[in-house]
Each structure stands twice: as C-alpha cells, then as structure tokens.
Amino acid sequence: MRVGIIGLPLSGKTTLFKALTGSEVEVGSWSGGKREAHIGIVKVPDERLDFLHTHFPSAKKIPAAIEYIDLAGFEKGISESAKVLTE
C-alpha cells in the first residue's frame, strides 16, 4: 500500500512522516529548493501471519507493508507541484 502525505507548506507533513516511519529526516528540508520526496516503508505486524508461519514453516513469510511518501508542500497557484504527483 502507498500513502502520500500532502498539504500546505509548514503544516506538519514531515513531522507526521517521522512519527509513522521512525525516520530521522530533517523537518523543513524542502526549503533548499529540493523537490525529492522522502520515502519510508513500514512492515505491519500481524499475529495471524505469525500463527500461520508457525504451522506452515516451509511457506515464505511476507508481512504487509505500507510505503509512506512525504511530498513537498503545495502552494496555491504553483503548477510545478502537480508534476510531483505523477512521478
């Protein structure tokens, strides 16, 4: 699953990203003009998967994962920001 975090500049997107992923990215790192997204992947623990893997150890155990994408702030009237969504 992919989740994009978008919003206005300085609205807490990177802070939320850090809380969800445990990443140590710098808050406000977009200010240098860079438009590269921060990406973090979090594995989702599932007791049901652990139970199945205990009973079927030969089966490959692949936990669910969520990919969080922290995008630069979207400012009103800037069409360049929309290009980031299509990449």
pLDDT digits (tens, 9 = 90+) for 27-79: 765 555 566 789 999 999 999 999 999 999 888 889 999 999 998 877 666 55
Whether this prediction's pTM lies above 0.75 is answered by no
At the topology level, CATH places domain 2-86 in Rossmann fold (3.40.50)
Give the pLDDT score at 40. Answer: 96
Q: Is residue 9 scored above 80 in pLDDT?
A: yes
Nearest Cα to Cα of residue 17 among 45, 33, 40: 40
Give the pLDDT score at 18. Answer: 94
Which of left, alpha, beta for 35 (phi over 0: left; psi -120 to 50: alpha)? alpha
Q: How far apart are CA 80 and CA 17, in angstroms?
A: 22
The residues spanned by each domain of the chain are 2-86
Q: How far apart are CA 33 and CA 5, in angstroms?
A: 18
